[in-house]
Amino acid sequence: MDYEKEVNIPPFARTPSSQSRVLTTAVRLGVRPFAGRIKGRSATIRLWRSLLGAGSRCLRADPRVSVEPIIDPCVEDPDVKRPVRGEWLRSPGCSPERGAILYLHGGGYAICSPRTHRVITTRLAMDTDLPVLAPDYRLAPEHPFPAAFEDVLDAYRLLLARGFPSDRIIIAGDSSGGHLATALTAEACRTGLPAPAGVVLFSPWVDLTGELATASVSSSRDPYIVPAVATRFGRLYVGTGDWEDPRLSLLTCPNEELPPFLIQVGGIEVLRAEAEALAEVLEEAGSPYDLQIWPEQMHVFQIFNRILPEADAAMREASRFIRRVLGTDSVTEAA
């Protein structure tokens, strides 16, 4: 049965499309053999940053969305230590009075940038008509923990200083950006900083030690993520930091009252176990969450939202969650 014809089945439970199967096979044959060779050396990481930066241009972002680079010192908040760097993304119908999205890109804390993820951020901007702030946080190994965390915390403080109430802010992120989004939200709850209205996670990287990914590799058919490489990247980011720091160890954090979470994860990726473990933590804390496991999908498949019907549907699910949390359900979905 075709993916689009399974109208009575939730999109995250439908039979994988033929496009999805073809792309998964292509990634398994063309990317995984090379991804497994990343050793964590600075020269190798710089090479991958260049390759992924160039490759991201093949995934066309929505041209209707304006992209404005920013370097904002946010002098209004003395707790902001460094100028916030990144970009604002706005749709033609952008309505900042409805709120804003803080999007934290993935890349193992060592590669990628707001530019590489514009196919996701422009889609969110169009589907929600909310302004999207994508900070260009510092990367490891040049800048280990807590550099990235401090940068995204400053970006969140910037939104608050610019007049966005916390209950009108959505924090979203993929992979390591999902780790940052969760850590930032938990930190706000721990320290008394106003918490966001909700959190959206695409294939969140939850366990930086790599233990969960390594344990689940035998039961997954991940075409992209190699657990050993994820472990190396985790060590690069943590550096000399304390692995038990609550900003790093998300699965052992205290049971703060957290806002609603939407967690989307591919059914065949090794990070599935981490998403499920995070859902268990939220369950024990009594925090509302929605865990969607998309059959046969790979890591951050949402980045192919202009190609795969599953990725398109996942982005629509994310935007629906955002509108529901913010109470803007009347906003029309992008075509």
Q: Examine residue 141 and say whether the peptide bond preceding it is cis (omega within 30 degrees of 0).
A: yes
Percent of the chain with pLDDT over 90: 72
Length of the chain: 335
Cα(11)–Cα(317) distance, rounded to whole angstroms? 9
Those residues with Cβ within 8 angstroms of residue 273's Cβ, 6 or more apart along the chain or in another chain: 212, 213, 215, 216
pLDDT in tens, 184-194: 999 999 999 99
Tell me the pLDDT tens digit for each residue of 85-140. 999 999 999 999 999 999 999 999 999 999 999 999 999 999 999 999 999 999 99
Task: Yes or no: say if 71 and 77 are a contact pair by the CB < 8 Å rule.
Answer: no
Q: Is 85 helix (H, G, I), strand (E, B) or coil?
A: strand
- State how beta strands 198-202 and 169-174 pair: parallel
134-152 per-position pLDDT tens digit: 999 999 999 999 999 999 9
Cross-strand bridge partners of residue 72:
84
11-61 pLDDT tens trace: 888 888 999 999 888 888 877 666 656 666 677 888 878 877 777 777 889
Q: Which is nearest to 154 in space by CA: 73, 89, 239, 248?
A: 73
Angle, CA of 62, 68 and 74, to the nearest 5°: 140
Q: Which of 210, 131, 190 has the alpha carbon at shortest distance from 164?
A: 131
Distance, in Å, from the CA atom of 263 to the CA atom of 87, rounded to the nearest integer, reads 24
Q: What is the pTM of this model?
A: 0.94
Tell me the pLDDT of the chain averaged across its residues. 90
20 is catalytic: no
Catalytic residue among 17, 56, 175, 287: 175
Mean pLDDT of the region 277-302: 94
Q: Which of 301, 316, 224, 306 is nearest to 58 (CA)?
A: 306
Strand extents, DSSP E, 38-93 = 66-72, 84-90
